[in-house]
Chain A
């Protein structure tokens, strides 16, 4: 490693993390001054990840739920604005210096997330979106429809509600930034040990998945790119009970990927159905179901 030619040859080992710590530090320093090695490392990393693509393994769904729950509670680092502060070829993390940033970020997050005015404001602004868009209430009922893109904001609203409940139960226990209360209700249904998953794909594209947990007595609907229900129309989700009655459970915006916790008892329901209804929803179905999810006997 004494001469310059030698260090260039470390590009491949660097690209696949096959250097020991000293060599790695030396090569990172070299990269700052050697543009041809920088370009080479980029190309060699692309080649290496192609190898990883040969044997993909689908991770368990619980991992996804855990991750997304953690993400919603994790503050993001700001962009690096002043270049000189960071070496040009810095790695995204793993460096000990990054680890020291975390506790600071966490402590900054606390007053922000725990600020009731802020949470209430977020919840309000989520509700004020157009009826076809964000939180669509069923007539005479409370249902929460959260477009995925707004979950971060809306969750603070949930956290507020959840925290309020905690306050009633045990005074002084409000720590929304670390309580498991902040795990989204959809995530907890997806992660339930007894979850049943049913998926329907529509002929026009778009899909809907129902997750039902008898132990939680809850069900959730996750939609992906639902086609428009038509002008002035929306999709409404119903629970069917064993008497065959249809009970309104949620109203869904179309052309959106959303996650919805259905209103009502999922353990007593025998099926969930979806119909096309006028905007705002109907108290009982006015058309035949476009999708039907039969539940397993509970």
Chain B
């Protein structure tokens, strides 16, 4: 199966809901950018086109920053990580290969990896303290308050998430949104070591199949 075809119908980057349904976004003056367009913009950026790169940023930065804030729970650090990650996107644009995933996935992988690296660095080690619950709640509140658009897509993803078992969902969210290793996830969820990785994988597979994304199966 041609992966790009699958991605084009999938959720990445505001491709789903019609443009009219989205509230006007002061930072994104461009129309919603589809997955195929994003690939093409990235190819142009690889040739030094800063305008194309700007469009890539405008189309993806709200999710990227949202993810960085979720993982790091600190706006200043999230800003730094987002900036570093996009600079990396710019530097490495020529190395993006659409055969290995969508442009959005490539970008978000870079953002996530950098956020997780930051979280695991010694500087951020103090975050795993007893205030976990409290911090977690604070951030969730901020995120909800600042979410720009509750789009149809977000609704679809929430529904898909609710199709996971509670343990699967928790394992996926602790790993992806909080940046824990599967070993740490096992400890947090009182699972035997080695079980969390299976929960994460099963959860992601179910999510993938429910959403109909990705080149798997």
- Where the two chains meet, the residues of A that have a C-beta atom closer than 8 Å to any C-beta of B are 9-13, 15-20, 38-40, 42-61, 63-64, 66-68, 70-72, 74-80, 89, 91-94, 147-149, 151-152, 197, 199, 207, 209, 224, 257
Contact = CB atoms under 8 A, between A and B. Distances in A.
A220 B29 CA distance: 16
A50 B146 contact: no
Contact of B83 (A63, A75, A94, A148): A63
Contact of A58 (B62, B112, B217): B62
Contacts of B148: 56-58
A51 B208 contact: no
A76 B48 contact: yes
Contacts of B91: 74-77, 93
A61 B102 contact: no
B40 interface: no
A54 B54 contact: no
Contacts of A40: 205, 216
Given A18-B185, A46-B105, A54-B158, A12 B213 contact: no
Contacts of B52: 149
A19 B182 contact: yes
A226 B30 CA distance: 12
B90 A71 contact: yes
Contact of A94 (B26, B117, B185, B202): B117
B207 interface: yes
B95 interface: yes
A144 B211 CA distance: 48
Contacts of B33: none
Contact of A50 (B106, B114, B183, B213): B213
Given A45-B105, A46-B214, A71-B53, A64 B113 contact: no
B36 interface: no
A53 B69 contact: no
B154 interface: yes
Contacts of B38: none
B205 A45 contact: no
B95 A77 contact: yes
Contact of B205 (A44, A57, A207): A44
Interface in B53-96: 53-54, 57-58, 61-67, 69-70, 79, 82-83, 86-96
B62 A59 contact: yes
B154 A54 contact: yes
B214 A43 contact: yes
A87 B87 CA distance: 22
A84 to B, nearest CB: 15
A15 B213 CA distance: 14
B63 A49 contact: yes
B183 to A, nearest CB: 7
Contacts of B108: 45, 48-49, 52
B49 A149 contact: yes
A12 B204 contact: yes
11 contacts: A13-B181, A47-B208, A47-B214, A48-B207, A51-B207, A53-B11, A53-B63, A57-B62, A58-B146, A59-B79, A67-B86
Given A12-B202, A13-B197, A77 B63 contact: no
A45 B25 contact: no
A63 B180 CA distance: 27
B25 A13 contact: no
Contacts of B149: 56
Q: Which 7 residue pairs are nearest across A and B when measured between Cβ atoms?
A: A43-B214, A12-B201, A43-B216, A148-B51, A56-B62, A47-B208, A46-B214
